[in-house]
């Protein structure tokens, strides 16, 4: 089928920099777009995008931009420059109508090249405060979209708009029975979904496993523990199932879930909000990040959407007590989330993409 419109999407490094792009792909395909995706050769983005047969994937070099002293700071700028050259070649060859970037360091060369080639560049910032890659990319952006209304004022001098987060349509059409079959659960107990992020979370994994005997008295547990973090000791325990990562079945798992324990990445917490899932957030601490998850969690806690447990206070005992308290108070959290009008940023972002493509 001939396709008259062409888009380049980019974003990677973690699932959070990819999943909003995945939410857009089916709509773009249905609307007859020729879709190209730019990521790294071995990044998680390649694995996540590969299941979409109608997307052409291109890999480029990407260097990480670090705020700390590291010898790689001497070589990675050269990788960024090479990535810009590769992106310029790709854009000159594909001639896209628009570029949409979800962030991560792989996106910077693409945004720079798009600006140089005078292609409209739309970027999306998921977190409350902009990450370094998006702060750099914003200098080359035509339009900036945000997940939080408070973020708009943080992009001084830029054309910025609050759109919300694009959320995968399939997540709201999950089948709880399919989720139970997938995990081997009955309907006898409420289900806790533990999500440590696409790269896993050792502190959370450890405290969860210390609590398994107590938690299984009242709950079934789905534990997404990250790559290479399956614990063989717990493989045969009834009511507890482990996965490194869940992709196609995630909508069904969420449909059967009663409580979620998770990091506080913006995409994930907005999905829980959309699905009205009571959640306990354990944000990645400032000692291991720029503090974006801490701020995300604070906003959701203040609005009554989430219960928060800091990693500094995380022990097997505090985790167990927080889960029980969340379950007892679940109706209050669900009522707070019900006060938010359902709807996500998918439509708003798609409208912007179409608008700028038409102006091209």
Burial class (CB in 10 A: 0-12, 13-18, 19+), 81: middle
Clarify whether residues 150 and 176 are in a common domain. Answer: no
Residue 1 has pLDDT above 50, yes or no: no
Q: How many domains does the chain have?
A: 2
Residues 203 and 104 in one domain: no
Determine the average pLDDT of the residues in 67-83: 72
**How far lies 211's CA from each of 38, 205, 232, 278, 330, in Å?**
41, 10, 16, 20, 20
Residues 6+ away with beta carbon under 8 Å from 102: 9, 10, 11, 17, 18, 20, 21, 123, 124, 126
| 79, pLDDT greater than 90 | no
My answer on whether 219 and 156 are in the same domain is: no
Q: What pLDDT, on the 0 to 100 scale, is given for residue 248?
A: 87
Rounded Cα distance, 4 and 193, in Å: 42
**Quick one: 74 and 135 in the same domain?**
yes
Residues 53 and 178 in one domain: no
* Residue pLDDT, tens place only, 299-350: 999 999 999 999 999 999 999 999 999 999 999 999 999 988 766 799 999 9
- For residues 162 and 292, state if they share a domain: no
On whether both 104 and 185 belong to a single domain, the answer is no
Whether 348 and 284 share a structural domain: no
Indicate whether 126 and 187 sit together in one domain: no
Provide the pLDDT for residue 67. Answer: 56
Cα 98–348–22 angle (5° rounding)? 65
pLDDT in the model for residue 16: 85
Mean pLDDT (whole number) for 20-43: 96
Q: Percent of the chain scored above 70 by pLDDT?
A: 93
Question: Which one is predicted more confidently, 95 or 341?
Answer: 95
Q: Quick check: 22 pLDDT over 50?
A: yes
Report the pLDDT averaged over residues 210-234.
94
Q: Are residues 207 and 105 in the same domain?
A: no
pLDDT in the model for residue 227: 84
**Residue 240, beta-bridge partner list:** 221
Q: Label residue 76 by pLDDT band (50, 70, 90).
A: confident
Q: Which domain holds residue 124?
A: 5-166+344-359
Same domain, 160 and 194: no
Same domain, yes or no, for 204 and 333? Answer: yes
Residue 25's CATH number: 3.40.50.2000
């Amino acid at each position: 089928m001939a396709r008259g419109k062409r888009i380049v999407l980019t974003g990677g490094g973690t699932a959070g920099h990819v999943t909003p792009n995945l939410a857009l792909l089916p709509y773009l395909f249905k609307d007859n777009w020729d879709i190209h995706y730019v990521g790294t050769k071995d990044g998680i983005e390649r694995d996540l995008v590969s299941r979409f047969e109608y997307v052409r994937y291109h890999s480029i070099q990407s260097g990480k931009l670090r705020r700390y002293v590291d010898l790689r700071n001497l070589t990675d700028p050269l990788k960024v420059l090479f990535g810009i050259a590769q992106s310029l070649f790709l854009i000159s060859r594909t001639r896209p109508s628009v570029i949409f970037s979800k962030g991560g360091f792989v996106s910077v060369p693409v945004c720079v090249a798009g600006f140089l080639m005078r292609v409209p560049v739309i970027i999306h910032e998921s977190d409350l405060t902009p990450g370094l890659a998006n702060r750099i990319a914003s200098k080359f952006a035509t339009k900036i979209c945000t997940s939080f209304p408070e973020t708009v004022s943080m992009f001084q001098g830029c054309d910025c708009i609050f759109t919300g987060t694009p959320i995968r349509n399939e997540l709201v059409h999950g089948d709880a029975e399919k989720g139970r079959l997938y995990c081997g659960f009955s309907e006898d107990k409420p289900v806790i979904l533990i999500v440590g992020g696409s790269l896993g979370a050792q502190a959370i994994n450890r405290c969860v496993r210390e609590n398994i005997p107590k938690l299984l008295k009242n709950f079934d547990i789905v534990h997404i523990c990250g790559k290479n973090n399956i614990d063989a000791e717990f493989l045969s325990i009834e009511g507890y199932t482990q996965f490194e990562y869940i992709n196609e079945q995630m909508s069904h798992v969420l449909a059967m879930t009663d409580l979620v324990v998770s990091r506080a990445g913006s995409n994930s917490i907005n999905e829980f909000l959309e699905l009205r899932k009571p959640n306990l957030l354990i944000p990645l601490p400032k000692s291991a990040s720029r503090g974006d998850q801490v701020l995300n969690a604070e906003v959701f806690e203040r609005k009554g959407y989430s219960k928060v447990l800091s990693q500094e206070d995380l022990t097997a005992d505090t985790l167990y007590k927080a889960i029980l308290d969340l379950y007892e108070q679940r109706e209050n959290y669900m009522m707070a989330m019900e006060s938010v009008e359902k709807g996500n940023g998918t439509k708003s972002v798609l409208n912007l993409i179409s608008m700028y493509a038409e102006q091209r």
